[in-house]
Amino acid sequence: MSPVAITPSNGRANLMMASEDSSPGTPRPLTLTPSPPVSRSGSSFDLSLREDETELGLLLRTLDFAARKHTCQRRKDVDQTPYINHPIAVANFLASTGIQDVRVLQAAVLHDTVEDTHTTVEEIADAFGVDVARIVEECSDDQSLSGLERKAEQVRTAPYKSREAQQVKLADKLHNLESIRRSPPVGWGIRRIQAYFVWAKQVTDICGPSHPALAERLNALYETAYTRVNGVYFPCHPDACAPLTEAEKDRIDSRLRGLPAGEKVCPKPLFF
What pLDDT is recorded for position 43?
31
Residue 18 main-chain phi, psi, to 5 deg: -80, 140
What pLDDT is recorded for position 228?
85
What pLDDT is recorded for position 257?
66
What pLDDT is recorded for position 185?
84
Q: What is the pLDDT of residues 176-207, one digit of tens each?
A: 999 888 888 888 889 999 999 999 999 999 99
Sign of CA dihedral 161, 162, 165, 166: positive
What pLDDT is recorded for position 80?
80
What pLDDT is recorded for position 260?
60
What pLDDT is recorded for position 74?
86
Q: Which residues of 150-188 are buried (b: 16+ CB within 10 A; e: fewer)?
A: bbbbbbbbbebbbebbbbbbbbbbbbbbbbbbebbeeeb
Which residues are known to be catalytic?
A: 115-116
Instruction: Spell out, as residue ranges, where the chain has pLDDT lower than 70.
Output: 1-47, 255-272
Q: Which residues of 238-261 are buried (b: 16+ CB within 10 A; e: fewer)?
A: eebbeeeeeebeeebeeeeeeeee
- The whole model's pTM is what? 0.79
What pLDDT is recorded for position 254?
78
What pLDDT is recorded for position 264?
54
Dihedral, CA of residue 192, residue 197, residue 199 and residue 202, to nearest 10: -170
The answer to whether 103 and 115 are in contact (CB under 8 A) is no
What pLDDT is recorded for position 31?
60
Which CATH architecture does the domain made up of 55-257 adopt? Answer: Orthogonal Bundle (1.10)
Q: What is the pLDDT of residues 3-14, one digit of tens each?
A: 433 333 333 333
